[in-house]
Structure 1
Amino acid sequence: MTSMKNRILLIEDDHRLARSVANFLTEQGFHVKHFISGENLDLLIESNSIDLIICDVMLPGTDGFKIAKRVRHTFDGPFIFLTALSNMEDQLKGFELGADDYLAKPVEPAILLARINACLKRNRRQQSNNEIAVGNLSINNQVRIVKVEQDDVALSRYEFDLLWLLASHQGTQVSREFLFINTVGREYDGLDRTVDGRVSRLRKKLEAVPNINCRISTQWGQGYMLACTD
């Protein structure tokens, strides 16, 4: 049985499905708050009273993709899409917006529960681990120090935030839009090159460090990736 401290926000306009999901999760020990749309979510999110969000995509008013983009400014917990949109393009868009998982309806309750528990477990592990290593590069998010072996690497606040995001997804492509939203703090219009400039400066600083064995590569038309070179 899952601890009652795990609080889930369910955003679903299908009342019958929402009731079924909420009842099941309540039986598993979760506390579930249900909203039928993205309206009036901001105060709830900002109150830090939610541990995980489950969100449909096709909703009245603001769709689930726009909700994800909006709440990622203030909510860094797990975000799961549960939707009838199952094509690859929609799934990729969901992950690019920062989703931790993407489930197509209908989903077996046991699978939904397993995915929720996996996301919560991963999130707890990330919260308890303030240091990430990529090759011989180490990043401590608590004291905001970057080292290559024993040598400090001086970075600006923006460069550190970019590096932390890339390191958190090491070895995988991170979209320009995701980096922009999570470091600049506003919606990406597809034209702004702020992130490109910051990544370029960060890359030059890292490449200037002797013996560093990781690098930032550009995924043309997609984003960036931090990975070991050995």
Structure 2
Amino acid sequence: MTDNNEHSKTKLLIVEDDLHIAKLLERFLVSEGFHVEHCDNGYDAAEKIKKTMPEVVILDMLLPGKDGIEICREVRPFYQKGILMLTAQDDDLNETMALNSGIDDYLTKPVRPHVLLAHINALLRRLNAEPPKTTVQVQDLVISKDNRTVLRGESAVTLSDSEFELLWLLALQAGETVKRDDLFLMLRGKPYDGIDRSIDMRVSVLRKALQKNNPENEYIKTLRHKGYILLK
């Protein structure tokens, strides 16, 4: 059993018409510290989700009124948290349809309680994870991955696609040494052979581009036999 305090403010909604199964799930999840609510039909499910906005919905496939896939499609425009489908429908077609409709996870009944708990926790971790960085500022440079631009104040720094990819990898670890072998693998898709100097040449071109309007500033430092650092 997990620490109840871990889930003390985490709200779950069980949408399940089998009251026996719903009660068993609710009893177990409450014992794990979750706040649990229940809806027993497909007619009211969307409104219940909108009203309670749980962190995770545990959604049956076959329900009176509307099935789980219909409900998922109905709520996705306003509900972006987790939906875990728990169903007796054990076939690839239903699982594929469910996942394509916006379901985050799919489990078939009967499911062991601690397996269900592990899936809920994994889903919560994904939902609560920090989104990947899309903009990084290093010294006087603002590097944007979305539109692949580098700005120094109001001025754009012109880089080729390959130079931008190199800069982005260095920027994600600014202030830390990035090994040449790692850069070679990430940018060339194969291990460094000890001979190819293409990454070194790309670093040299990138360094010159960054220093073009600020020649006295050091952006990239080379550590002999180790790698490169984009200085913070």
Whether these two folds match at TM > 0.5 is: yes
For CA contacts below 8 A with separation 6 or more, give which structure has more relative contact order: 1
When normalised by structure 2's length, the TM-score is 0.57
Shift of 1:210: 5.5
Structure 1's 211 and 130: CA in aligned 2 closer, same or farther, altered over 3 A?
closer
Structure 1's 57 and 42: CA in aligned 2 closer, same or farther, altered over 3 A?
closer
Hey, what does 1:56 align to over in structure 2?
60
Using the alignment, how far apart are the partners of 2:144 and 2:92 within structure 1? Answer: 34
* Unmatched 5+ stretches in structure 2: 136-142, 152-158, 166-186, 190-232
Structure 1's 138 and 80: CA in aligned 2 closer, same or farther, altered over 3 A?
farther
Hey, what does 2:94 align to over in structure 1?
90
* Unmatched 5+ stretches in structure 1: 140-145, 152-208, 215-227
Shift of 1:30: 0.5
Residues 45 and 74, structure 1, Cα contact 8 Å, conserved in 2: no
Aligned length: 149
What SS does the aligned partner of 2:26 have?
helix
Hey, what does 2:34 align to over in structure 1?
30
Using the alignment, how far apart are the partners of 2:117 and 2:44 within structure 1? Answer: 26
Structure 1's 56 and 132: CA in aligned 2 closer, same or farther, altered over 3 A?
farther
Identity of aligned residues (%): 31
Across the aligned residues of Structure 1 and Structure 2, the Cα RMSD in angstroms comes to 2.7
Superposed structure 1 runs of 4+ greater than 4 Å apart: none
Which of 111, 115, 118 matches 1:114?
Answer: 118
> In terms of Rg, which structure is larger?
2
What SS does the aligned partner of 1:131 have?
coil
When normalised by structure 1's length, the TM-score is 0.58
What SS does the aligned partner of 1:119 have?
helix
> Does residue 148 in structure 1 map to residue 154 in structure 2?
no
Shift of 1:112: 0.1
